[in-house]
Every structure is written in structure tokens, then in C-alpha cells.
Amino acid sequence: MAAESGVMGALGNRADNDAVVQQELEALHLYGGLVEGLVELFGRHCEVVLYSLTSPGSQVLKAANSGQQPGTPMAEPLAQRLLELQEQQARTLTYFTQSRLGAPIKSSIQLLRDAQGVDIGLLSINVHLDVPLHELMADFMPRQQQAARAEVSPENFNNNVEELVTLTVERTIEAINADAQVANNAKNKQIVTTLYEKGIFDIKDAIAMVSSKLNISKHTVYLYIRQKKRDDEEPSLNHQETS
């Protein structure tokens, strides 16, 4: 893989030296406190992952608010970002991306070096932006001011599929209900259509959840989905007939 070239390739050539690798791992563990510290600072909608570049596949060394476990190899998209960072000979890179459900995420990665200036680790920070503003801001308020509200489960936001679906559904409903260009009698259909385009209905029990949120029957949700599929197929059929 291309991302294993450059600095990572050089590190691979030194992998036989157990003493060097051990020293690098010890140096990386010194950065471990940053993982919890950053999550504590930015709140439960921020996930932080520390990767070791001394291990094959650049494995996860430590993670918080993330479903990734220690030993998990770095995902291909992040490996490409790492390669981009190395090619630019930079230490940090900040960019915007999306979750698999299309939710916006602001990400930042930073190379970590040992005392000799060798890149031995990568710190990855992802802040999920597709959440209600009051939830984001609540994590920046003093704890005593939050006593009146129920504690939110510390379970990883990104790893909890049900929570992701719920938030996506709620944000879509809010957006379309606030859209004056969508007639009131067409809002439910537009909501279902938008959620279909986001792939929500590929997830188990999503139809039941949406029908409950909209206070309509599952049959109606299925009907809107079939209409959307038919509308998507018609342009293709018309194109074939005119060809």
C-alpha cells in the first residue's frame, strides 16, 4: 500500500531492532494522556485515536469515544491522509469529511515524534458536527449547571448505530419541517425520501423508528420508499427507450 512508503517504510526497516521499537512504544505511551484529555475537553461527540507507526499496519495504541480497539489496523482513508501529510512534510493536517451516513465530521491528525525526531505515532481527532447545538455546547458548560439534565450515556457515539440513526432521523425531520418550500402535506414523504437517500433504511429497525418518529404506519414508510425507487428507475427506463 502506498501509505506504507516514506517514513513508515523507514520505520519498517528498523522493526528488527526490538530495543528501538520498545523505546518508541514507551515514548508513544507518554502521549497517551492526550487521548483522555482531548475527549474531556471537547466532549462526548469527539473521538480521539492514537496510532503506533512502529507496528505493522499502523495499529491503534489507544482510543477514546471510538469503537476501535487496540491492535486495530489503520483504515485505508486515514492511511491516505497520513501519506498526504508525509508528502507535504507537515506535522498536522485538518480537514472535513463525512461518516458512512453522510454526517459531517471535522478531523485533525498530527504526527508524533520521538527525541530523535522520528515520526513514531499519529494522533487522530474527529469532532462529529451532526448533533444538536445544545448538546455540543453542554460539554463546554460547568458540570454543576448540567445537574438538572440526565447524564448522557458515555457509550461511544460513533459506535452506537442506534444513536447515529436516531440523531440522523431527528436532524432530517427538523430540517425538512423548517423548510418553507416543502408543503406541510408533503413533509413526511420528503423526510422518508431524504432518509432513503442517506441509506438509513439499510439499517435494521430503521423503518420502525422512522414510522414512530413521524407517527405514521410502517406501510406508509414502505410506500414512500417504493415511490422513491420507482422515480429513480423511470429516468433510466426513459433513457433506454430513447436510445
The angle subtended at Cα 163 by Cα 230 and Cα 68, nearest 5°, is 110
**Per 3-state DSSP, what percentage of the chain is helix, strand, and coil (rounded to 5)?**
50, 15, 35
In-domain check, residue 154: no
Residues 7 and 88 in one domain: yes
Residue 61, pLDDT score: 82
121 and 8 part of one domain: yes
Domain that holds residue 89: 2-128
Query: Residue 54: inside a domain, yes or no?
Result: yes
62 assigned to some structural domain:
yes
Query: Domain ends where: 85, 104, 128?
Result: 128
Q: Which residues contact 140 (CB under 8 A, 6 or more apart)?
A: 43
The pLDDT assigned to 153 comes to 47
Would you write out the chain's pLDDT as a tens digit for each of its 243 residues? 444 444 444 444 444 466 666 767 777 777 777 788 888 887 777 888 888 888 777 888 888 877 778 888 888 888 888 888 888 888 888 888 887 777 888 888 988 877 777 788 888 898 888 776 666 666 666 654 444 444 444 444 444 566 777 888 888 899 888 888 889 899 999 999 999 888 888 887 888 889 988 999 999 999 999 998 888 887 655 555 555
How far is Cα 153 from Cα 65, in angstroms, rounded to an integer? 11
CB contact set of 96 (below 8 Å; sequence gap of 6+): 104, 105, 106, 107
Do 87 and 205 belong together in one domain?
Answer: no
Q: Is residue 52 part of a domain?
A: yes
Could you tell me if 96 and 170 lie in one domain?
Answer: no
φ, ψ at 49 (rounded to 5°): -130, 135
C-alpha distances (whole Å) from 188 to each of 79, 164, 174, 209 are 40, 20, 11, 14
Q: Does the residue 145 lie in any domain?
A: no
DSSP E strand boundaries for the chain = 46-52, 60-64, 92-98, 104-113, 119-128
Same domain, 6 and 124: yes
- In this prediction, residue 45 carries a pLDDT of 79
- Can you give the pLDDT at residue 192? 93
SS3 222: helix
pLDDT value at position 104?
A: 86
**Whether residues 166 and 117 fall in one domain:** no
With respect to residue 140, please indicate whether it lies within any of the assigned structural domains: no
Number of folded domains that form the chain: 2
Is residue 209 located within the same domain as residue 104?
A: no
- 98 and 210 part of one domain: no
Indicate whether 63 and 173 sit together in one domain.
no
pLDDT value, residue 219: 94
Q: Is residue 124 located within the same domain as residue 167?
A: no
Q: Is residue 33 in some structural domain? A: yes
122 in the same domain as 7: yes
